[in-house]
Chains A and B, each alone.
Chain A
Amino acid sequence: DSGVTQTPKHLITATGQRVTLRCSPRSGDLSVYWYQQSLDQGLQFLIQYYNGEERAKGNILERFSAQQFPDLHSELNLSSLELGDSALYFCASSEGRLSYNEQFFGPGTRLTVL
Chain B
Amino acid sequence: GESVGLHLPTLSVQEGDNSIINCAYSNSASDYFIWYKQESGKGPQFIIDIRSNMDKRQGQRVTVLLNKTVKHLSLQIAATQPGDSAVYFCAERDPGGFKTIFGAGTRLFVKA
Interface set of A (CB-CB < 8 Å, partner B):
2, 4, 33, 35, 37, 39, 42-45, 48, 55-56, 58, 88, 90, 92, 98-100, 102-108, 110
Contacts and interface: CB of A to CB of B under 8 A. Distances in A.
Contacts of A43: 44, 89, 91, 102, 105
Interface residues of B, number: 27
Interface in B1-15: 2-7
Nearest to A88: B2
A99 B91 CA distance: 11
Dominant SS at the B interface?
loop
Contact of B97 (A2, A45, A88, A99): A99
> Which 6 interchain pairs have the tightest Cβ spacing?
A105-B43, A56-B98, A98-B97, A43-B102, A105-B44, A90-B43
Interface string B81-112: 00000000101010011111111110000000
Contacts of B93: 99-100
B45 interface: yes
Contact of A42 (B2, B49, B102): B102
Given A42-B104, A43-B44, A107-B43, A99 B5 contact: no
